[in-house]
Structure formats: C-alpha cells, structure tokens
Amino acid sequence: MINHAVMGMFDKFDTAEQARAALLADGFGSDALELKVHDDEAGPVEGNFLVGNTPIESDQHVYDRNYANPAQRGQCMLMVNAVDAATAARASAILAGFGARDPDRLSGARP
C-alpha cells in the first residue's frame, strides 16, 4: 500500500528525465514513478501575450523582445509513490538535487 507521494515540478523535460533516471538508479521501480508533461495550448506562460501574433514594423523591437525567449514554467511533473516516510524523504532529496519545485509550496498550500 502506498502511503506517501512526492511530486516535483520541472520546466524542462530533459531535467525531469534525468531526475527519473537518478531515481531508477537509486532503486526506485518504474512502477513507482510517473512523469507527465502538461502542454498549454495558449503557449508559453512568458513571452507571447503582449503584442499578438504579427509584429508591427514600428514595434519590431517590442515583438523581438517578447518572442525571443518564450519560457514554459512547470510543465513537467514527476511523481514518486513511496511506501514510507524514509523513502519519500530519499525521493525528495533526489528531486531537489535536480532543481524540482514542490507544487504545494508554489501554490501556497504548504509553508
């Protein structure tokens, strides 16, 4: 029976995959790991809403600035199903080592 779940949010799929590989190397079974990618049909959360889809010649610098580096935030979620608190702590440490963010802390649900 699974008592604990640990989640980590990543901006990049490659980083989430590296964290998953590290968990597997540490002895976590693939059945205890779940990696999901959430794409937003509206596009990146940063860099695409200010000027629309077509640049106006006089505003080319604004268009270039806003579209140059669009950034996805927290689109990859890696969940680890742990059987006890010690295993959950081990998973949390591995996720943290890859820069995972805790979704509860991001949402303000937990201090």
**pLDDT for position 103:** 74
- pLDDT tens by residue, 36-65: 987 655 554 555 455 455 555 555 566 666
**pLDDT for position 92:** 94
Strands (E) located in 11-75? 33-37
- pLDDT tens by residue, 69-89: 555 555 889 999 998 999 999
The C-alpha atoms of residue 75 and residue 17 are separated, in whole angstroms, by 13
The C-alpha atoms of residue 16 and residue 36 are separated, in whole angstroms, by 9
Residue 6 half-sphere exposure, CB side, CA atoms within 13 Å?
Answer: 24
Give the start-to-end residue ranges of the domains of the chain.
Answer: 1-38+74-111, 42-71
Output the six-digit token pair for 97: 């080592």
CATH topology of domain 1-38+74-111: Alpha-Beta Plaits (3.30.70)
> Is residue 111's pLDDT more than 60?
no
3-state secondary structure of 10: strand
Average pLDDT score over the chain: 77
Answering whether pTM is above 0.75, one says: no
The candidate with the shortest Cα–Cα distance to 7, out of 109, 83, 103, 74, is 103
Cβ-based neighbour number of residue 104 at 10 Å: 11
3-state secondary structure of 110: coil
H or E element that contains 49: none
